[in-house]
């Protein structure tokens, strides 16, 4: 029995073909043949001619494997399917279209036709939809998604590889794979090979494509499909808390909001204390596909020099002298590196050569302490507290020092050993002010104090009280305004304080 498959797209790609068999005789009625005389044969012949004139062709309509009924006029079926495809093509001509199911017409010749054309047309409209012809991308047995065509699918794989392997490196690898006869060599890396370059490239699973059909909204762009292959879906994972971790930086590291992190860990309070080794549930991407690259890489690294410090009792504390300048060395290392999606999964040293030895630095440091001479290492000039205003532009003017407030004790302390060169009221807006010369090129000032506890010419030790914090002079509130000078130049106190 012949059949007609009308599921062909406007773009001209071929429909699938399958065979159907119908049961029963070709004709609905039977022709009785009389046996006997010649007159009987004439009568039978006349009967056959009459029957032939009454034979009609009907069409059994199928959507896929499902029978929808019979029609007398196949042109209506053809028009419906061709109009559906033409309409889709007119709306978006960049794609090729097919029907969601094969529509098949199986002709049959009958004496008495019993068809239901309108009913079949209605059923057919419900049974079939227009779909976009696409290339289905699968990793292993799992469908990842769809792209426009095979050309786009090939581009997906190419761009996926190019994320982690440069075009130049890939070309060199392909050339190295060829032997003298032009045949590909074994992809497995040679453990004895020391030359730089890619030794092997391997996908974590099979990347397959096949001709398919889907809805327009399920088609992905090439770049989006590459991103999906690389990052996959978010899956739950465990994270062990490390030193310095807080919930906020853990959330940031895994691109989670605080609400998402709390939903994953309902027992942890927002201000809860984390302990090193605690287990936190997080979500991180699980790629659909990984590319494993094994390569040899040779790099040169510097070798840091050691420092030898010698004490000199004749030199003042804080002074130092370089007796021998240090020099870094250099080493060349060849490593076998295994990368998975660009991240180092394993690395081992194959060969190492020292190109130049480092040269030790020898310095001499003074240990001699004089009560009036500072060490150059300033101490915090208050009892606790924090910096509330930094050095720099402020309110349209330059703030020459730092402001410290929020202390646990209002005592103002000498930042280093030195001699008080000024102690009293300052008319320039500093109020009660103390200036200490540390006799090593450094000078510090202490301003806006409520009272002063030292006098001019007095030798003070590091940490000794020089006054009480206040708000005298041009001051907006109780605090210490602290300035530092080095070799006569104003410098930022934060660079010298602990």
Residue 316 sits in a domain whose CATH number is 2.20.230.10
Q: Who's near 278: CB < 8 A, 6+ residues apart? A: 240, 241
Residue 374 in any domain: the answer is no
Q: How far apart are the first and last CA of the chain?
A: 97
Q: Identify whether residues 307 and 342 lie together within a single domain.
A: yes
Look up the CATH number of the domain holding residue 483. 2.70.70.10
Q: Identify whether residues 388 and 485 lie together within a single domain.
A: yes
Q: Identify whether residues 336 and 250 lie together within a single domain.
A: no
Q: Identify whether residues 160 and 205 lie together within a single domain.
A: yes
DSSP calls for 25-44: -SSSS------SSHHHHHHH
Boundary residue ending a domain (94, 128, 162): 128
* Cα–Cα dist 325/318, whole Å: 19
- Across the chain, which has 498 residues, the per-10-residue mean pLDDT values are 51 32 30 29 44 80 96 94 95 94 95 90 95 96 95 95 90 75 51 80 94 94 95 91 88 90 85 84 93 95 96 86 96 96 93 96 89 91 95 91 95 96 96 96 97 95 96 94 97 96
**Which residue's entry shows tokens 């302990």?**
275
Q: Identify whether residues 80 and 124 lie together within a single domain.
A: yes
Find the largest Cα–Cα distance for the chain: 158
Q: Who's near 439: CB < 8 A, 6+ residues apart? A: 370, 372, 373, 374, 418, 419
Residue 375 in any domain: the answer is no
Q: Identify whether residues 240 and 266 lie together within a single domain.
A: yes
Q: Identify whether residues 108 and 151 lie together within a single domain.
A: no
Record the pTM: 0.57
Boundary residue ending a domain (81, 111, 128): 128
Q: What is the pLDDT of residue 164?
A: 92
Q: What is the pLDDT of residue 17?
A: 29
Residue 108 in any domain: the answer is yes
Q: Identify whether residues 121 and 27 lie together within a single domain.
A: yes
Domain that holds residue 113: 4-128
Q: What is the pLDDT of residue 114?
A: 87
Residue 388 in any domain: the answer is yes
Q: CB–CB of 204/232 below 8 Å?
A: no
Boundary residue ending a domain (128, 163, 186): 128
Q: Identify whether residues 357 and 431 lie together within a single domain.
A: no
Number of domains in the chain: 5
Q: What is the pLDDT of residue 2?
A: 55
Q: What is the pLDDT of residue 182?
A: 52
Look up the CATH number of the domain holding residue 238. 3.10.350.10
Residue 377 in any domain: the answer is no
Q: Identify whether residues 392 and 312 lie together within a single domain.
A: no
Q: Identify whether residues 147 and 203 lie together within a single domain.
A: yes
Q: Identify whether residues 242 and 301 lie together within a single domain.
A: no
How much of the chain is helix, strand and coil, in % rounded to 5?
A: 20, 45, 40
């Amino acid at each position: 029995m012949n059949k007609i498959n009308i599921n062909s797209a406007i773009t001209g790609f071929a429909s699938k073909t399958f065979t159907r068999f119908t049961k029963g005789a070709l004709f609905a009625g039977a022709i009785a043949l009389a046996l006997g005389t010649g007159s009987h044969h004439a009568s039978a012949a006349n009967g056959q001619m009459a029957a032939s004139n009454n034979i009609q062709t009907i069409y059994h309509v199928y959507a896929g494997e499902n029978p929808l009924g019979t029609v007398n006029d196949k042109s209506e079926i053809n028009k419906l399917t061709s109009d559906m495809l033409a309409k889709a093509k007119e709306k978006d001509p960049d794609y090729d279209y097919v029907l969601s199911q094969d529509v098949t017409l199986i002709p049959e010749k009958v004496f008495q036709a019993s068809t239901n054309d309108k009913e079949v047309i209605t059923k057919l409209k419900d049974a079939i939809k227009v779909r976009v012809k696409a290339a289905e991308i699968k990793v292993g047995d799992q469908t990842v998604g769809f792209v426009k065509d095979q050309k786009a699918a090939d581009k997906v794989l190419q761009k996926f590889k190019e994320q982690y392997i440069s075009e130049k490196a890939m070309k060199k690898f392909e050339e190295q794979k060829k032997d003298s006869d032009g045949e590909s060599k074994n992809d497995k890396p040679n453990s004895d090979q020391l030359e730089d370059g890619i030794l092997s490239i391997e996908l974590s699973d099979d990347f397959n494509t096949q001709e398919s059909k889907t809805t327009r909204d399920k088609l992905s762009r090439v770049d989006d499909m590459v991103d999906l292959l690389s990052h996959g879906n978010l899956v739950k994972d465990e994270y062990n808390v490390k030193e310095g971790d807080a919930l906020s930086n853990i959330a940031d590291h895994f691109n989670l909001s605080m609400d998402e992190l709390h939903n994953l860990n309902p027992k942890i309070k927002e201000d809860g204390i984390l302990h090193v080794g605690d287990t936190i549930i997080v979500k991180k991407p699980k790629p659909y596909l990984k590319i494993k690259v094994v390569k040899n890489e040779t790099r040169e690294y510097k070798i840091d020099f050691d420092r030898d410090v010698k004490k000199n009792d004749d030199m003042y504390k804080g002074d130092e002298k370089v007796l021998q300048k240090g020099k870094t060395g250099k080493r060349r290392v060849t490593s076998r590196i295994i990368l998975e999606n660009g991240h180092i999964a394993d690395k081992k040293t194959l060969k190492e050569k020292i190109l130049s030895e480092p040269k030790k630095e020898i310095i001499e440091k003074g240990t001699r302490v004089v009560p009036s001479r500072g060490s150059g290492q300033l101490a915090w000039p208050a009892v606790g507290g924090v910096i509330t205003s930094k050095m720099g532009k402020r309110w349209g003017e330059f703030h020459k020092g730092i402001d410290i407030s929020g202390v646990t004790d209002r005592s103002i302390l000498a930042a280093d050993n030195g001699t008080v060169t000024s102690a009293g009221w300052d008319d320039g807006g500093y109020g009660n002010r103390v200036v200490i010369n540390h006799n090593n090129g450094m000078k510090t000032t202490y301003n806006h104090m409520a009272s002063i506890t030292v006098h001019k010419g007095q030798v003070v030790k590091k940490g000794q009280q020089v006054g009480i914090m206040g708000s005298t002079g041009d001051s907006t509130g109780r605090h210490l305004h602290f300035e530092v000078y080095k070799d006569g130049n104003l410098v930022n106190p934060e660079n010298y304080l602990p």
